[in-house]
């Protein structure tokens, strides 16, 4: 392909680092192309996808709130993305749109980085805030890593309970708590049992309403001092770190935001579109 037309679909998109990352990847691989932010309302999703296919776009990323909504509009959704019920990457070839989920890989990399000790990895007990596409990708990744226990906390009872129904097995206990994500942390039973906290919501995103680190203090106080904290939100704009990471650091907890996951999933998406492999360091503009 002489020119790769790439884009990100979602709303809102003002915080996105994707254009700069994919511009680096294109330059690194000596490829010509562009990467646009296409901020659309939900009622524009179908017509926008049809338009982009006609205009010769090679690939798309999909972010909140369309990772689940785009699935019925795609021509093919193979394997894990269909099982997860969320797509964040779309390959367009000869007018056909195929959905992928590179969030699964990105989440796995971060979790494995936390739990390098095999004995710890085999005993992960995770508390996940959120019930959307990002949360589903994390649950799927944890299931592949033989996680023992997951608790989903979400304001949306229907979606949370659907995840429980979909992923419950004899080998992995999964439950739902509808109150935690509203800031009512006091109802959490046996909080010290968790070894991993994942924020799979937009809470703390720079483009959202300001959120103070103190919002998470009540939850972090309840959790074990050995818990690892993975905030899928990444610092952007004026932020030096996300509110959750800031609160975790104050407690001396091991914590990271979503920057590494962002770079890992972006690198895999770029490879799907172009066939070229790039490192997350290239995506982030770091020397290797």
- 75-131 per-position pLDDT tens digit: 999 888 988 999 999 999 999 999 999 999 999 999 999 998 777 777 899 999 999
**Model's pTM, two decimal places?**
0.89
Q: Which domains does the chain have, with CATH numbers?
A: 4-101+261-284 (3.40.50.10860), 104-257 (3.40.50.720)
> Would you state the pLDDT for residue 188?
62
Residue 287 has pLDDT above 70, yes or no: no
67 catalytically annotated: yes
Residues 6+ away with beta carbon under 8 Å from 262:
17, 18, 21, 106, 234, 283
Which position has the higher pLDDT, 132 or 269?
Answer: 269
Residues 6+ away with beta carbon under 8 Å from 109:
260, 261, 264
Catalytic residue among 5, 32, 53, 67: 67
How do beta strands 89-93 and 96-100 pair?
A: antiparallel
Secondary structure (3-state) at 197: strand
Positive or negative, the CA dihedral 175, 176, 181, 187 is negative
> Would you state the pLDDT for residue 42?
95
Secondary structure (3-state) at 165: helix
Q: How far apart are CA 70 and CA 88, in angstroms?
A: 9
- 190-245 per-position pLDDT tens digit: 777 899 999 999 888 876 666 777 888 888 988 999 999 999 998 876 778 999 99
What is the full DSSP assignment across 229-258? EEESS---TT-SS-HHHHHHHHTT-EEE-S
Q: How far apart are CA 86 and CA 138, in angstroms?
A: 11
What percent of the chain has pLDDT above 90?
69
């Amino acid at each position: 392909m002489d020119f790769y037309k790439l884009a990100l679909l979602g709303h809102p998109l003002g915080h996105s680092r994707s254009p700069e990352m994919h511009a680096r990847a294109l330059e690194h691989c000596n490829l010509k192309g562009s990467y646009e932010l296409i901020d659309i309302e939900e009622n524009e999703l179908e017509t926008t996808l049809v338009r982009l296919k006609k205009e010769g776009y090679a690939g798309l990323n999909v972010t909140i709130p369309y990772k689940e909504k785009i699935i019925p509009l795609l021509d093919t959704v193979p394997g894990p993305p269909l099982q997860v019920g969320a797509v964040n990457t779309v390959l367009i070839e000869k007018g056909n749109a195929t959905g992928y989920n590179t969030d699964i890989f990105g989440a796995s990399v971060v979790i494995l980085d936390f739990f390098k000790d095999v004995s710890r990895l085999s005993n992960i007990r995770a508390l996940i805030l959120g019930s959307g596409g990002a949360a589903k990708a994390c649950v799927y990744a944890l299931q592949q890593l033989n996680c023992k226990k997951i608790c989903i906390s979400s304001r949306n009872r229907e979606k949370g309970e659907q995840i429980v129904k979909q992923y419950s097995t004899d080998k992995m206990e999964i439950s739902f708590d509808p109150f935690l994500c509203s800031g009512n942390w006091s109802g959490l039973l046996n909080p010290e049992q968790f070894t991993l906290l994942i924020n799979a919501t937009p809470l703390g995103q720079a483009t959202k309403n300001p959120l103070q680190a103190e919002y998470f203090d009540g939850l972090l106080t309840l959790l074990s001092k050995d818990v690892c904290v993975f905030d899928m939100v990444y610092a952007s704009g004026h932020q030096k770190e996300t509110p959750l990471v800031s609160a975790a650091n104050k407690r001396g907890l091991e914590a990271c935001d979503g920057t590494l996951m962002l770079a890992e999933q972006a690198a895999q998406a770029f490879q799907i579109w172009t066939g070229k492999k790039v490192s997350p360091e290239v995506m982030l503009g770091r020397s290797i």
